[in-house]
Amino acid sequence: MSLRISALEYVQEVQNGNISAEDYVSKTIEQINNVDENLHAFLQINSEAIDNARQIDKKIKSGKNVGACFGMPISIKDNICIKDSKTTCASNMLENFIAPYDATVISKLKQQDAIFVGKTNLDEFAMGLTTEFSAFGPSRNPWNLDYVPGGSSGGSAVSVSAFECLASLGSDTGGSVRNPASFCGVVGFKPTYGLISRFGLISYANSIEQIGPIARTVKDTAFILNMIAGLDPNDNTTIDNSNQDYLLGIDSGIEGKKIGIIKEMIGEGIDSAVMSATKNAISKFQGLGAVCEEVSLDMVKYSVAAYYTITATEAGSNLARYDNLRYGYDFPVEGYEFNSYISKARRKFGPEVTRRMILGGFVPSSGHAGKYFLKALKVKQKLTQEIDQLFKKYDFLIAPTVPVLPFKIGEKIDDPVALFLVDINTVTANLTGKPAISVPFEISNGLPIGIQIFANSNDDKSLLQAARALESTVKLPEVPI
Ligand code: GLN
């Protein structure tokens, strides 16, 4: 039995009695034991995974109702709470934090008999795009171990790419699902804002972030979305998707659709291999019967600045709770007055989180708010107006997910601004609330390139159809792991 199947193939094989959940999960754990020492996708492995699989096999044998996952092994980014397990956000601050409840996405997947094989590595509190800011060491790209896997959901993308699970959940505040998916050659989906409940996701920037699936195929992505999307009384920002079936009609194609190529996302600084992949993707879309033309989204040039201003402000407020009085680590209070205690306790945060908190205290402060925070909100509003205008004329917009190829571990770590700029093509979807997906498209010099497709709010289903159409034109080499 090979691990190299899709999630939907797994379900089929288990249903047909060709494989058992226990076999597949045991093999998955074996794979993790073999490859994860090098890859470091996981922060914790669920020691009960094989037992859980055995229980599901029993349920199947006894003819009881079994959930749609049939014991499928899934990995979870370590900023999503699973009751009674550690949820560290890859931070020393939460090193020993045990989540007291399940995130809504976790309860939904449990109901469908998914098995959580482990918690995956990320940049501390999801701030970053390489996983190098994890307090517990970076993850590595399975296509080339010297390279970053992207981030912040780097561990999730690595685990899917290296057959350490069948699918994963990440979170995407400014690209953290799509960026690592692109760098690791897998599919990453950021839904319309509100489509997936954020209850139980440890907040970074609530007003724009979403949990999103990472999978090996577009169909698997739709399958996971079917199980986790929809209204949640615990998250007031969720939207009613009327139990939409995202798999149904996924092969409908994109004949006659109008696609805009975002000019500002293929401009200055784009790698020539990424540019050539984008041109090839445009030809594929045309071959599928779509009409493609270049469009302009002028505010993109201010999007990264606006994104970091808004997210730092929200992060500053969200992270204020980590004062080591309510959650935290063992650090006695004796000998300190209140302020000096808290500032000392907060030194547990790593450099990137500290940078964001300092920025987040400054940009919305009185005397500066008009110049920075309020201006950033105006950019967000204007960008949304511009993209809404485009969606009156176009069904989809496209751009490369990331303008550059994966780079070497350590290469950009000391240059935060260079890192911020890598987000130029992903933050727009978050700032405007639109759904966007990264589809693995080409391998250049052994490193993956993803193509990103955007759709209008609540058009997640047709977005998945477009992604499936593009995917059907692609045959990538096997990941060398
Ligand atoms: N690189 C971006 C940031 O650091 C995106 C992170 C994310 O989407 N969580 O904010």
Cα 335 to averaged position of ligand 1 atoms, centre (Å) = 37
**Which residue of 153, 423, 431, 452 sits with most ligand 1 atoms within 8 Å of its CB, as the best mutation to test the pocket?**
423
462 token code pair: 């047709």
Residue 140 lies in a domain: yes
- Per the annotation, the verdict on 375 as an active-site residue is no
Residue 404 lies in a domain: no
Atom of ligand 1 nearest to the CA of 171: 9
- For residue 330, the model assigns a pLDDT of 85
CA 242 to ligand 1 centroid distance, Å: 30
Alpha-carbon radius of gyration of the chain? 21
CB 172 within 8 Å of CB 287: no
Question: What residues contact 112, with CB distance under 8 A and at least 6 apart?
Answer: 67, 68, 69, 227
Nearest CA residue ID for atom 5, ligand 1:
174
Cα(313)–Cα(356) distance, integer angstroms: 8
pLDDT digits (tens, 9 = 90+) for 131-164: 999 999 999 999 999 999 999 999 999 999 999 9
Q: Give pLDDT, residue 329.
A: 84
Ligand 1 centroid, distance to 134 Cα (angstroms): 13
The count of domains in the chain is 1
Give me ligand 1 centre to Cα 28, in Å: 29
Q: What confidence score (pLDDT) does residue 17 get?
A: 95
The pLDDT of residue 1: 80
**Residue tagged active-site, from 176, 197, 203, 303:** 176
How far out from the chain centre does Cα 277 lie? 22
Residue 368 lies in a domain: no
Structure tokens at 428: 């727009």
Assigned token pair, 181: 């998916």
Instruction: For residue 317, tell me if it sits in a domain.
Output: no
Angle at 168 between CA 163 and CA 172, to 5 degrees: 135
Residue 32: give the domain boundaries: 7-250+436-471
Domain assignment present for residue 165? The answer is yes
Catalogue the E-assigned strands of 191-290.
Answer: 210-215, 258-262
Q: Give me the CATH number covering residue 165.
A: 3.90.1300.10
- Whether 76 and 116 have beta carbons less than 8 Å apart is answered as yes
Q: Residue 466's pLDDT is what?
A: 98
Identified catalytic residue from 152, 171, 182, 438: 152
pLDDT of residue 164: 98
Query: What residue ranges of the chain have pLDDT lower than 50?
Result: none
Q: How far apart are CA 41 and CA 164, in angstroms?
A: 9
- Is position 176 annotated as part of the catalytic site? yes
* 26 catalytic residue (yes or no): no
The answer to whether residue 179 sits within a structural domain is yes
Which residue's alpha carbon is nearest to atom 10 within ligand 1?
A: 127
**Tens-digit pLDDT profile for residues 346-356:** 999 999 999 99
Beta-bridged to residue 295, according to DSSP, are: 262
Strand segments (E) across 126-252: 167-172, 187-190, 210-215
pLDDT reported for residue 328: 81
Q: Using the atom order of ligand 1, give the atom closest to the CA of residue 176.
A: 8
Q: Is residue 403 part of a domain?
A: no
Are 380 and 313 in contact by the 8 Å Cβ rule? The answer is no
- 96 inside domain: yes
